[in-house]
Structure 1
């Protein structure tokens, strides 16, 4: 027969296990999966690599060629991308300050809505605060972007937060999750990659043999 001490010990263990099960059942369900994390990482890395490929060997004349006086150069496009990487960093930091609220995820539009918006062919008008100034020359625009993108990738590689439980309010009755904010971020790069390729396809775009030394 068990001694009284053994019975008390077993009861103590059972109570502890029960309390642990109750505490775990009370935790909110994690919505952001490893597959979600890998999806964002893959696209953040992909768009980073594609932007490097299309710009790292440009000369100064290519960086600053304009299709017309009112169109952005490749340098200005990449500067604009850098601004938005910085703006997203601020907005994501603010969105993750409150306690996680996974129950609000059901009030968000599907991921596909945000992706369709950023990838659509229709023209978007950039707000004044994200329009390029054109002060940076040549490859400095790419360095500016890469510093910020690498910080986002570093965060994405290490975070264990539930990025579907934190939100940015986009209107009084509308919000998007941090996961969806990252979709818009890499989609924004894809969108402007089309613009860069259009600049490079212009018949007057400078040829490499015509160019001066780049910075």
Structure 2
């Protein structure tokens, strides 16, 4: 497993708040994953639709991200997460490692989405704001569509490729991509917060 994936997992898990009780068992079908990837994509696009460039670039404070910076950050993290997942599934599948996974899919979703704990992103995932807002949004769409197409068409055994490099303990390739979707929702919530700021342009 590449060091970059470990860093990515630290980013995604830094705000993780594990529920005290297991909510849902692991599922072998792709329904939950595809639903999460599609819904979080659509929810994000809904929040940015119709915003002017001034609104997209508005910062509630000098040390806070704008709407478009949130979109860029989501895309940067997703590319790293997807690349890491692709590296993981190239390694030999090992079903015996599944016994070490203690966290459920639903715990991943709810834990990462919780914004009660916040943290600073590593430099490589900080937005650079070096493209137009339209291109930044299109980059997200292109990246997410690639992930959705992969999950839809892959024959990779996502459940039996397991990494123990996660701060939340062993997780499988399926759960890595659930983390990605949950991370998108986390920052979509942040976008809503920006839009609700008192000085947000009208």
Please tell me whether residue 191 in structure 1 is matched to residue 186 in structure 2: yes
What's the counterpart of residue 119 of structure 1? 113
What's the counterpart of residue 63 of structure 1? 56
* Structure 2 segments unaligned to the other structure (5+ residues): 1-25
After superposition, the C-alpha distances for 1:141-197 in whole angstroms (9 at most, x for unaligned) are 111111110000001111122211012332699421011111111100111111000
* Range with bigger deviation, 183-192 or 156-165: 156-165
CA 1:76–1:105 in 2, change beyond 3 Å: closer, same or farther? same
What's the counterpart of residue 27 of structure 1? none
Could you list the structure 1 runs, at least 4 aligned residues long, displaced by more than 3 angstroms after superposition.
171-174
* Structure 1 segments unaligned to the other structure (5+ residues): 1-30, 208-215
Secondary structure at the aligned position of 1:170 is classed as coil
Secondary structure at the aligned position of 1:96 is classed as helix
> How far apart in 2 are the matches of 1:85 and 1:169?
20
* Range with bigger deviation, 173-182 or 157-166: 173-182
Secondary structure at the aligned position of 2:170 is classed as strand
- Structure 1 length-normalised TM: 0.76
- Structure 2 length-normalised TM: 0.81
Secondary structure at the aligned position of 1:68 is classed as coil
> How far apart in 1 are the matches of 2:120 and 2:62?
17
> How far apart in 2 are the matches of 1:67 and 1:189?
20
Please tell me whether residue 43 in structure 1 is matched to residue 39 in structure 2: no
Q: Which of structures 1 and 2 has the bigger CA Rg? A: 1
CA RMSD, aligned part only? 1.8
> How far apart in 1 are the matches of 2:109 and 2:201?
33
Q: How many residues align?
A: 175
Secondary structure at the aligned position of 1:134 is classed as coil
> How far apart in 2 are the matches of 1:96 and 1:32?
18
